[in-house]
Amino acid sequence: MADAQNSTKVWQKVSKTAILALVFLLPLFFLPFTSNVLDFNKQALLVVFVLTALFAWLLKSLIEEKIALDVSWFNLAPAVLLIVTALSTLFSAYKYGSFWGWPLNISSSLLSTLVLILLYFLIVNLFRRPEDVFGLVFILVVSGLLVALIALPQVLGKFPLPFDFAKSTSFNTVGSVNGLAVFLAAFLPLAASLTFISKKRLVKVLVWLFVISSLFLLLAINFQTAWQILMVESSLILIFGIAKREVF
């Protein structure tokens, strides 16, 4: 019995560690020696880490002899998205490209959509405690801060990376310049909320560094959609924080 419990804890830790590593690496990851520096490599990283986390979670469930799933109406949205994407791929004139994404748009491929939805369900079922969620968000803060610090000199016309493809103001580790703005805008309000939750000085310092650098980049890029996302999400977090302070 004790061995089974230890095995369960080990495989659950493996699954959570894979997700935490993915959350940190995905915004930063690129391979300079491949023809597609960002998208294909990020998709490969996503698939490997999500399948690793899924395999470990399934082993944990087999040892426990039960599968505990968080059943919620919110789960209908990703399920519908997967069905629509699968149907779109099925009736596509280029099924190979629609499934793999390569050489088409990788981010909208069926494979990427499926793996991202698996990641969503793994996070929902593995990160249930508030401290787990806090750790997940904080790791993304650190990753986002590194993304912003890499993008800042690029936007200013300084190119610290020793690669020919990086000698451009538009290069960053997320994707397009507008994609970077959306990434920062979508995550900035959530990151800023950590300053009201955590009492640790290091956490507050890193969060504020991320907030300041992100705002500077948003001003420099000035993408209207990113500003709209920032305003809507900030309003929602503010409303939720006031209405459900004990949960928040």
Q: Name residue 201's amino acid.
A: R
The rounded distance, in Å, linking the Cα atoms of 210 and 227 is: 17
Quote the pLDDT of residue 181. Answer: 93
Tell me which residue of 36, 9, 78 sits closest to 165, measured CA to CA: 36
Residue 150 has pLDDT above 90, yes or no: yes
Query: How far does Cα 199 stand from its chain's mean position?
Result: 25
| Cα–Cα distance list, 160 to 1, 152, 244 (Å) | 55, 10, 44
pTM of structure: 0.86
Least confident of 81-95, 213-227, 231-245: 231-245
Q: Are 83 and 113 in contact (CB under 8 A)?
A: no
pLDDT tens digits along 171-182: 999 988 999 999
pLDDT tens digits along 92-134: 888 777 777 776 677 778 888 899 999 999 998 888 888 888 8
Quote the pLDDT of residue 118. Answer: 92
Residue 28 has pLDDT above 90, yes or no: yes
71: how many CB neighbours lie within 10 A of its CB?
7
pLDDT tens digits along 190-212: 888 888 787 888 888 999 999 99
pLDDT tens digits along 41-72: 898 899 999 999 999 998 888 887 777 666 67
